[in-house]
Structure formats: structure tokens, C-alpha cells
Amino acid sequence: MPRTWLPRIQVVEYLRAFLLGRAGWSRIGALILISGAFGVFRRDVLVEVGGVDTASIGEDFELVMRMHRHLTRQRRDYRIEFVAEPICWTEVPTSTAVLRRQRARWHRGLWETLWKYRGMLGNPRYGRVGLLALPWYWLFELIAPALELFGLVLVVLGLALGVVNVWYAIAFLCLAYGYALLVTLAAMTVEEMSFHKYERWSDLGVTLVAAVLENVGYRQATAWWRLEGWWASLSGRKAVWGVMTREGFEGVSLWTLSSGCGGRVW
């Protein structure tokens, strides 16, 4: 477990995204993102679709979407799956500056890829990908940070103007963030029962605290940074990767992706 809180919160965040999110999409045959940290592709299919688009800032996402579109149009039987067993090490941002650049880049890549393949959205030709996965990504991944921040602003304004019941607002916020905490705890339980990579009780305690702290400041900050990345794309600013500072495997803020992160196309 990392020694500082920023990487610890990211442990919680990734556990939820990988162990629950992508495992679920894979189970119903609608996985549209294999993360670049650990992805395995059939070479013949990779070459067939033209390889990785080096001009795309969301390379892994764009590649998987292109494979879905290509293989579906050819009416070929294929599977894109999440495999939980592979374990890899990844180093997450340890400063807010690096984290900000990362989240802005991710959201810009999300937007540009979704827009590029907008013709698949709601299109029954692409099955669950077009009718389920893409609508979900548009609403709950792309637009979600704008909705969340707008909602928080409305609540604050409502309280200031006296048009929102204070206890109702508190109860609603507790319910919303309590549900987020419940989903995180579910991911932690699955990890503990399946892989048990965090052997010390203190690590589990730290993870519980991080799951709570994620909703206090961190979540709102990352939502704002994601909107910055979206706006950068809409305003035509040049896409840059940005400097991602690394400390190496001897650093104090490393993170083990204990949930597994393997994806495969076959």
C-alpha cells in the first residue's frame, strides 16, 4: 500500500473500475476499453485494422472501438474480454499537477474517441456495444463530471437562497456518496475474496479510509480536471501527452494493481 493518500485513493478508484466495471462489461460482451497498462491483442487483427493510431490521445480506447466496428461490419464471431488473473505493477501520479494532466488527457481521449465513433451510438447493428455500452459511456463517463459539478453548484445556490431544505440536502448527499462508498466496498470485497493481495489488516483499514476520502475533494477535483480536458479538445488546443513524473520501483508511492488489468482480443 502506498504511503501517501493521493496514490491510496487511486488504489480504491482503480479497484472499482477494473474489478467491477470492466469485469461486468466483459461478462455481457460489451467491453469497449482495454487499458494500455496490460492489453493483449491478436496480431493479425491488430494489423488488419491498421494498428495503433498514433495521432489519437486515447490510443487503447480508440483501437478497441475500431476493432469492434471492423469485426462487426464483417459479421465475424469475436470476443473482447477482461481477464482478472493477470497482475501488473503500475505507478500512479503522486502529485496533483501530474494527476491533473493525466485526467484531462484521459477525458479528452474519451471525448475524441466517442465523437469519432458516434455513428455506432444507439445503432442496433453493433448490438450491446451500440445500444448499451456507448450510451452508458456518453452519459455516465463523458457527461457525468459536468452533471456532478452542476448539481453541487445548484445545491449550494439553493441552500444560499433558502429554496432547498437543509436536512433533505444533507440526506440526499449522504445517500449519493454512501452509494458510491458501497460500490467501492463491494470492489474491495471482491478483491479480498479473489486475490487477497493486501495481506495486512492495516492495508485494508487504509483502503477503507481512502474510500471515504475519495468523495471529499478528490472526486470533485478530478471532475473539474476532466472538464478541462474536454474543453481543451472543443476549443481546438493541441493535444499533448504532458510530463508524467515517475519515481521508479524503489519509490514510496508505488501501487500494485492487485485487481488485475488484463484484456484480450480473440
Cα 221 to chain centroid, rounded: 15
Determine which helix (DSSP H) or strand (DSSP E) holds 149, and give its type and residue range: helix 144-161
SS3 label, residue 249: coil
β-bridge mates for residue 82, sequence order: 263
Residues 6+ apart with CB under 8 A from 265: 34, 40, 41, 42, 45, 46, 64, 67, 78, 79, 80, 81
> Exposure string (b/e) for 239-266, b if CB count within 10 Å is 16 or more?
beeeeeeeeeeeeebbbebbbbbbbbbe
pLDDT at 199: 79
SS3 label, residue 199: coil
Per DSSP, 62 falls in state H
State which residues of the chain have pLDDT below 70.
Answer: 242, 249-266
Terminal-to-terminal C-alpha distance of the chain: 34
Nearest to 214 by CA among 18, 41, 11, 62: 11
SS3 label, residue 232: helix
Task: Please give the backbone phi and psi of residue 40, each rounded to the nearest 5 degrees, phi first.
Answer: -120, 125
Q: Is the pTM of this model over 0.85?
A: yes
Determine which helix (DSSP H) or strand (DSSP E) holds 83, and give its type and residue range: strand 80-83
Residues 6+ apart with CB under 8 A from 25: 31, 32, 82, 133
Q: Where are the domains of the chain?
A: 5-265
pLDDT at 225: 97
Say if CB 148 and CB 221 are below 8 A apart.
no
Residues 6+ apart with CB under 8 A from 222: 99, 103, 145
Say if CB 246 and CB 98 are below 8 A apart.
no
